[in-house]
Amino acid sequence: MSSSRAERLVNLVLCLLSTRQFLTAERIRAIVPGYADAPGDDAFFRMFERDKAELRELGVPLETGRRSTFDTADGYRIARQDYELGEIDLEPDEAAAVALAARLWDSPQLAGAARGALVKLRAAGVEVDEDSGRIQPRVRAGDPAFAPLLAAVQAGRAVTFDHRRGGPGGEVVRRHVEPWGVVSWRGRWYLVGHDRDRDDVRSFRVSRISGTVTATGPAGAVRAPEGVDLTALVRRGTDLPPVTGVARVWVAAGRAQGLRRLARVLGPRTHRGRPGDELELDLRDPAMVARWLAGHGPDIAVLDPPDLAERVRATWAAAADPVSTP
């Protein structure tokens, strides 16, 4: 920033702090040093718009309003109680955490906000060393849906989007959600909020959102419940169910490598004349495990428990039964 622009911004802040009334742009042009140098009206207004944007990026609470209902132009002021910063005293480890957070984001929206926070801290006399330490972590927020979802959360507006269930081949469903927050869990981003379609709290993986995220309704209409733990809600929706038992499964030699990686090999075993291995597998969701095992066809056989074997046979029978047509 040039010295002349920096001086003009300081003069603008001092001017808007010293008044309780809203000052119009023309009034500011007349009394703030630096604006008189503008060669014309268009140049002044472009200069003034850039200065307003700069102040807001620096965290200056610039208010817009009118002195009365008879005024035809907006005015500007800075409320002193909103502008003045209380004393900040960070311990060395806290200052290091701030510097680490500033280097953390790999997103233009959040990286800009982090840099602005460092500027404000330095303006308050807090020394923050961005270069301390050798750790260079990054949190990626490159999904197209991330920025509009974050903006909707901050504005308190509902969102509508298309969400793919269960991975790349899953069904795409239209969702209408009151967003409470966007959180990171196990390297992935999730939107947490109230799903209006299901009338329940749900979390949605941001990477599975396709198309445009549309914000709906007035600003401030959506707020997260007091004291809600967003990370706990995501964890509840994504963690594996508890282990309820174990299953013993025969697997043909050289087959079902994915199943072998998740199971414990008990030893070699021949089943109906075919060589293979006996595996032990944790049971969490029997219905899901049965569908998974059934997909391996004759290369597996459930040895125990009997109800899991019956589920697998039922899945095979359903797949073999021709679909009747009216």
- What are the tokens at 212? 């445009």
Torsion angle, alpha carbons of 48, 54, 59, 62, to 10: 10
The whole-number pLDDT of residue 113 equals 60
User: Pick from 25, 12, 41, 31: which is nearest to 75 by CA?
Assistant: 25
Question: Domains plus CATH for the chain?
Answer: 3-83 (1.10.10.10), 92-140 (no CATH), 148-237 (2.30.30), 245-320 (no CATH)
C-beta of residue 205 within 8 angstroms of C-beta of residue 190: yes
Interatomic CA distance for residues 285 and 307, integer angstroms: 13
Higher pLDDT, 308 or 20: 308
- What are the tokens at 79? 């409320």
Interatomic CA distance for residues 76 and 86, integer angstroms: 23
Provide the sign of the torsion angle of the four alpha carbons 39, 44, 46, 47, taken in this order. positive
- What are the tokens at 104? 């953390």
Q: What is the mean pLDDT of the chain?
A: 81
Total length of the chain: 326
Q: Does residue 310 register a pLDDT over 70?
A: yes
Cα angle vertex 64, ends 61, 70, to 5°?
Answer: 155
Q: Does residue 252 register a pLDDT over 50?
A: yes
Q: What is the DSSP letter of 288?
A: H
C-beta of residue 76 within 8 angstroms of C-beta of residue 23: yes
C-beta of residue 190 within 8 angstroms of C-beta of residue 179: no
- What are the tokens at 13? 């802040």
Tell me if the pTM is above 0.75.
no
Mean pLDDT to the nearest integer, 25-49: 88
Higher pLDDT, 218 or 284: 218
- What are the tokens at 317? 């029978």
The whole-number pLDDT of residue 212 equals 93
Confidence band (pLDDT; 50, 70, 90) for 248? very high
The whole-number pLDDT of residue 58 equals 76
Confidence band (pLDDT; 50, 70, 90) for 300? very high
Interatomic CA distance for residues 197 and 177, integer angstroms: 8
User: Pick from 198, 210, 200, 206: which is nearest to 233 by CA?
Assistant: 200
Higher pLDDT, 304 or 168: 304
Q: Does residue 267 register a pLDDT over 70?
A: yes
Mean pLDDT to the nearest integer, 112-124: 61
Higher pLDDT, 137 or 146: 146
Interatomic CA distance for residues 204 and 193, integer angstroms: 9
